[in-house]
Structure 1
């Protein structure tokens, strides 16, 4: 049997074209938001936490059906792994630009955020870091660079002030991991400690892949410092703290937000209770939306928050808020709307100064009691 093909009637053809046009008009516009963080390596648990916060926000916004300029918009998170490596950070930054993202969240590492910033600046794409605390990140003159945490110029002096005023330390030893973050924080702490009248006995450097700190710790033990300041991440700060205890060093160990995670107890064991650390933001329990967010996060990902998830979560909403105010998903218009941001989110109010830093930063101090992170104080900066 031979099939006979009949030409459709003009009415049928018109109906088909109309239906096709309607389908196209009603299709969601897919808008990519970039994200980069260490998803492999020693800091993967922190990077994944950061990514989870952004992903949770994207899922919520899509469920509410975002509309920009009369067009339904579906967000897509373009997640990349920077492996906490500066060179890799620039590679994934260029990939995100090539992928056509309209804005980027990342990284939680200063060492990758800083070199990536030029690439996003050249492309005119907003970059919001949820964790880069090195002051240089927003002092390079890039109008695309923003952050939703405080800086080490605040965090370092806060730790130094606590060491001298509360712990009554007169002598300190300092060790950093040779990264932009570790060096920057240690340098700011050193300046703050000297300003407070403390004597810096030594300032040694290791690296962010180190696992054995016994040599430098043995040297420090002979110096008998009142406190030891470690500039680095929890992946190295945990073993550093544990080995200090094994060598019989009783001096308190001070550290910044890179060490101040929920995983520190797993990495340092019982020695965790000798640590005082800071976060360059409000403590989760004191954030306006912190407790509710923590419950929502645990329900979605079946694990506790490490540290940066609330900041990356709010960063997505800040980008979407800029889209709404610009009534556009054009990267240039999103960027133009960013300086006038005034967003109330999980972490509290976010408004930026001319450099892209928070107008109202705070530093939270913690200690560990039987491995549980416990708030000491919140300092407004």
Structure 2
């Protein structure tokens, strides 16, 4: 099978790293990919936003399956276009993507479908928003209706902070709506599934707060999340993901492809903070390290709506973790390659996933001993940074 992946993040590198193992994949391409992806797949210099060019590439190169992970491509209708033209594609259509790109839609959807989530309200008027603060109390979370990857999200613990956040977000003529929701206490985790629009095939959990090593300048995650017991996992699938998929289908917006959610584990149970309808960084990098077996059949069956035939995924006993090194995107590619080699050669269990222009380097490792894994990840990250900072 000739497979094309659309995207340029470290998550696409991780995906291609996993797919190249599949006996179903004869040729693997990625548009546009990056230096890391080029080690395992052929990179195609086409922007994810160039829909017609991508379609022509599929025509000219006999592509048999497309995995669309770029949000720009999904939003602009690439999955819809590919399917109309006879190319099977893994990913959501323009109806399904609304779960991610519109916070108001996602929260109103949860309310309609009785999916546990925080109290919220949407506003385009600052006076009404200020009045809602009196009703909901503090602290609150304030974000634009469109807040991709947690951009421009404010956690406000004082009235002054909340009023400033509301004013800042509604001051522009084209600002659009904002969402104000209650701040939830608990432990934040993420959970991911694959769906064909009818059934849910669970993947696993991750957590962004696992060891004190991850910081805003060097974020990370651990999989599985220690707080997610088998009982909590069942509750997440049954109370969140199954009604999400069934509700989207009932509303004629099929949720197909990979679906994940940020979830707060509260004393009242798991509650959805937001959704994502594509692979997530750095979570996916940890997930693929733990995943046993061939991923490709599940991706094809998501398109074919045949996931009901699948047994649960199998997982390595070890946990997996990621530390992300962020750069300004101007590093010399040969120096980055040398830095990556320094980390991976020194510790054969280390795998580094690279984004486009090496803006993010996901340093990953697996292991049963979390303390040992922390030390090895820290050592690998330090090796990379030493090479990158050398003159």
Normalised by the size of structure 2, how large is the TM-score?
0.34
Normalised by the size of structure 1, how large is the TM-score?
0.34
